[in-house]
Amino acid sequence: MLLSKMFNWAEAEGFSRGNPARGIKKFSEADRVRSRVLSADEEAGLLRELAPHVRPVVLVALHAGLRRGEILSLPWKNVDLRKRVLTIEGTKSGKARFIPVNSLLADVLGKLKSLNQGRARVFPFKDVTTAFEKACRRAEIEGFTFHDLRRTFGTRLLEKGADIITVSRLLGHSSVVTTQRYLHPSDTLAGEAVEKLTEGAANSGHFSENLSNGGQTARRENPRVPPSLFFSVN
How far apart CA 172 and CA 54 sit, in angstroms, is 24
* pLDDT of the residue at 142: 95
Candidates 68, 148, 78, 145; CA nearest to 109 is 78
Choice among 63, 151, 156, 182 that is catalytic: 182
Catalytic residue among 63, 150, 151, 156: 150
- Nearest CA to 130 among 146, 116, 147, 109? 146
Contact call for residues 139 and 39 (beta carbons, < 8 A): no
> What residue type is assigned to position 196 of the chain?
K
From the CB of residue 152, how many other CB atoms can be counted at a distance below 10 Å?
21
Domain housing 144: 40-187
Q: Answer yes or no: is 214 within a domain.
A: no
Residue 161 located in a structural domain: yes
- Asked, for residue 201, whether it belongs to a domain, the answer is no
Parts of the chain with a pLDDT under 50: 27-32, 227-234
Sign of torsion over alpha carbons 128, 150, 152, 29: negative
In the chain, the number of structural domains is 1
Domain-located, residue 109: yes
Among this protein's residues, is 55 annotated catalytic?
A: no
CATH number at residue 75: 1.10.443.10
pLDDT, position 13: 61
Q: Which one-letter DSSP state was computed for residue 76?
A: G
Residue 147 annotated as catalytic: yes
Q: What is the pTM of this model?
A: 0.69
How far from the centroid of its chain's Cα atoms is residue 168's Cα?
A: 9
The predicted-structure confidence for 1-18, as pLDDT tens digits, reads as follows 555 556 565 666 666 666
Given 63, 68, 156, 173, the catalytic residue: 173
Does residue 19 form part of some domain?
no
Residue 194 pLDDT: 74
Decide if 74 is inside a domain: yes
CA 186 to chain centroid: 10
Residue among 67, 68, 151, 156 flagged as catalytic:
67
Residue 207 counted as domain residue: no
92 is known as an active-site residue: yes
Active site residue 63: no
176 domain-assigned: yes
Which pLDDT does position 232 carry in this prediction?
45
The one catalytic residue among 48, 113, 147, 206: 147
Residue among 5, 92, 95, 138 flagged as catalytic: 92
Is 182 among the catalytic positions? yes
**Spatial distance between the Cα atoms of 98 and 2, rounded to a whole number of angstroms:** 43
The pLDDT assigned to 190 comes to: 64
137 catalytically annotated = no
